[in-house]
């Protein structure tokens, strides 16, 4: 008998294969996953295990060969625009300024732009962008660009964000500042987040739960609950890191 999940978001029995130069490779097979409202789940796994592919499926950008994506039980497989998705190589349009870049999904959806502009203006200080509204991407630092992309993702969606390595390619200081900032944003705006990352410390800092993924075909192999940060002692942090590292020697 089929059991239908009523989670905020669930993936059930997902298989995804790609045909490349005449041969089929199964990237994900029988993948099951769910997340509840207000959870922050990080996905960690080796390069090429299918993390980005999985987020694309959740975002409805690609279709699974088998299985279903649900939100509160409703089938949302292949439906875009329901969840906020920030791809691994999210690009801002170089000819648009900060405000125009953030407004783009609003325009594409045909929503009222003056109302959205007011909402964006109110959010700018929280995203630390109030002084860069007229700047074009080449005039912004890497950290600022990521914040513009995050605000754009937020404006595009409900309160569910799928973030594919949003803080990669930043220097470690900027990265650690943005991790703290992201934590504040998520708490302030009461977001539900799925974050793909290679950074174990980042996952421990930000998540309530870490899902480890294996390769060939990709699937979730282990789920680790992260205790509340204030109660997280150094020894526990080291233990968590060792558990994750033991699964992936390459990380
Ligand atoms: N459109 C496609 N056509 C063919 N193969 C693809 C396609 N998209 C992804 N793949 C393959 O699927 C596998 C998983 O790719 P994916 O980008 O999901 O990995 P990942 O876990 O996000 O890796 P990374 O950590 O490096 O970002 C890779 O072997 C990749 O080459
Ligand atoms: Mg990826």
pLDDT, one tens digit per residue, over 131-154 is: 999 999 999 988 899 899 999 998
Which atom from ligand 1 is nearest to the alpha carbon of 20?
Answer: 4
Beta-carbon neighbours within 5 Å of ion ligand 2? 51-52, 88
Ligand nearest to the CA of 27: 1
Distances (CA, A) of 241 to 80, 162, 205, 219: 35, 23, 12, 20
- Condensed to tens digits (0 to 9), the pLDDT of residues 163-197 reads 999 998 788 888 888 899 999 999 999 999 999 99
Mutate to test the pocket of ligand 1, among 11, 16, 25, 27 (most ligand atoms within 8 A of CB): 27
Domain residue limits, the chain: 1-83+159-251, 90-156
How does residue 240 score in pLDDT terms, banded at 50, 70 and 90? confident
pTM: 0.89
Which atom from ligand 1 is nearest to the alpha carbon of 56?
Answer: 18
Q: If you classify domain 1-83+159-251 with CATH, what class do you get?
A: alpha beta
Distances (CA, A) of 87 to 41, 146, 242: 17, 11, 29
Give me 141's structure tokens: 């630092």
Give me 185's structure tokens: 């944003």
Segments in 76-112 forming alpha helices (H): 98-108
């Amino acid at each position: 008998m089929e059991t239908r999940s009523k989670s905020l978001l669930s993936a059930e029995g997902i298989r995804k294969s790609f045909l490349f130069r005449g041969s089929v490779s199964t990237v994900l097979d029988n993948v099951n996953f769910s997340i509840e409202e207000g959870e922050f789940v990080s996905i960690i796994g080796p390069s090429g295990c299918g993390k980005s592919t999985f987020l694309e499926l959740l975002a409805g950008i690609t279709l699974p060969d088998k299985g279903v994506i649900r939100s509160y039980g409703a089938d949302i497989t292949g439906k875009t625009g329901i969840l906020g998705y920030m791809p691994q190589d999210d690009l801002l349009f170089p000819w648009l300024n900060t405000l125009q870049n953030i407004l783009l999904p609003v325009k594409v959806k045909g929503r009222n732009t003056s109302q959205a502009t007011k909402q964006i203006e109110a959010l700018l200080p929280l995203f630390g962008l109030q002084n860069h509204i007229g700047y074009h991407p080449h005039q912004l630092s890497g950290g600022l660009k990521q914040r513009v992309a995050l605000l754009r993702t937020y404006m595009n969606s409900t309160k569910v964000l799928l973030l594919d390595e949003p803080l990669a390619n930043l220097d470690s200081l900027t990265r650690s500042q943005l991790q703290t900032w992201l934590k504040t944003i998520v708490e302030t705006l009461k977001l539900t987040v799925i974050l793909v990352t290679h950074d174990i410390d980042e996952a421990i800092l930000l998540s309530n739960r870490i899902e480890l993924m294996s390769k060939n075909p990709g699937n979730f192999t282990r789920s680790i609950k992260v205790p509340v940060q204030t109660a997280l002692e150094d020894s526990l942090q080291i233990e968590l890191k060792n558990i994750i590292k033991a699964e992936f020697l390459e990380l």
